[in-house]
Structure 1
Amino acid sequence: MFDIGFAELVIIAVVSLLVIGPERLPAAIRTGSVWLNKIRRGFNDIKQEVQQELHNDAVLQELRKTGEDLKDQAENIHQGIQKTAESLAETALPDIPPGENPGGNKSDSADDSAEKDQV
């Protein structure tokens, strides 16, 4: 983790023995190891949270992209349906005057009004 070699460890041990003393050195080592473990756990927790947030952001971006793709596809389908409906309306229903059927016969309402005129 810290890239400390054997020579550095020996120097740290000798200096700590001279500064702290032989009676308090074991307690100081225990206290130091407890604090070091707490720091490691804290860094690991932070690292996991950052990785989780990055993963969540990636998932959200993917979901947004998928949603946009679906909207685009729905828009394309809607436009295709509209174009098909317009072309069908133009080919299937030419300009027919109101009251006439496409077969050339007048509609029932036109017949009824003609009969009323005769009576």
Structure 2
Amino acid sequence: MIEFGFDKLALIGAVALIVIGPEKLPRVARTVGHLIGKAQRYVADVKAEVNRSIELEELKKMKTQFEEAARDVETSVQHEIREAQTDFDRNWSEATAGLDASSSLSAPLSTPVPEYKRPKKNWRLKRGAVPTWYKQRHGVRTHSQSGAARVARFRPPRAR
């Protein structure tokens, strides 16, 4: 990139002062500053877009590598499961080969599980931690009541 030292900038400023004139120089300098700022933002946007595309390509490569590694692990796990299943089947058949079919049916292997019975509680009834006698003594409301019902309850009787 072009490097501007103080002496080069002073020379450019002096030439611009002579060519453009002192009246128009601030407006031209402002316009040049805006154009340079736009150019810098454009270059920064292009750099950021290039960096994003490079990172995206790297992430895609990394994704394919992880997918391949996951497939390899899956195949190895399936292979080990198949081997373990065949070993188990072979050992099971060897272990059960000497048993009689009639003796295995007559003796139960485990105790029967009792049927589930619901507890004899009324689960719909809400039980509070504070006893009702305590609530009554201290004036805690135990039932919800609408505003109109509350007003009607505490309205003094009509005098006739």
Q: Tell me, in whole angstroms, the C-alpha distance in 1 between the residues paired with 2:68 and 2:74.
A: 10
TM-score by length of 2: 0.52
Residue pairs, 1:1-119, within 5 angstroms: 2-93=2-93, 102-103=97-98
Q: How has the CA–CA distance of structure 1 residues 24 and 104 changed in structure 2, closer, same or farther, with 3 Å as cutoff? A: closer
1:17 Cα deviation from its structure 2 partner: 1.9
Q: RMSD value over aligned CA atoms?
A: 2.5
* Amino acid corresponding to residue 17 of structure 1 in structure 2: L
* Amino acid corresponding to residue 98 of structure 2 in structure 1: G
Residues 18-38 of structure 1 deviation map (CA, whole Å, 9 limit, x = unaligned)? 222222221111110111111
Unaligned runs of at least 5 residues, structure 2: 103-160
Q: Tell me, in whole angstroms, the C-alpha distance in 2 between the residues paired with 1:90 and 1:66.
A: 36
User: Percent same amino acid among aligned pairs?
Assistant: 27
Large movers: runs of 4+ above 6 Å: none
Higher normalized contact order (CA 8 Å, seq sep 6+, divided by chain length): 1
Unaligned runs of at least 5 residues, structure 1: 95-100, 108-119
Compare CA radii of gyration and give the structure with the larger one: 2
Q: Tell me, in whole angstroms, the C-alpha distance in 2 between the residues paired with 1:44 and 1:104.
A: 81
1:59 Cα deviation from its structure 2 partner: 2.6
* Amino acid corresponding to residue 26 of structure 2 in structure 1: P
TM-score by length of 1: 0.67
* Amino acid corresponding to residue 102 of structure 1 in structure 2: A
1:103 Cα deviation from its structure 2 partner: 3.0
1:93 counterpart SS class: helix
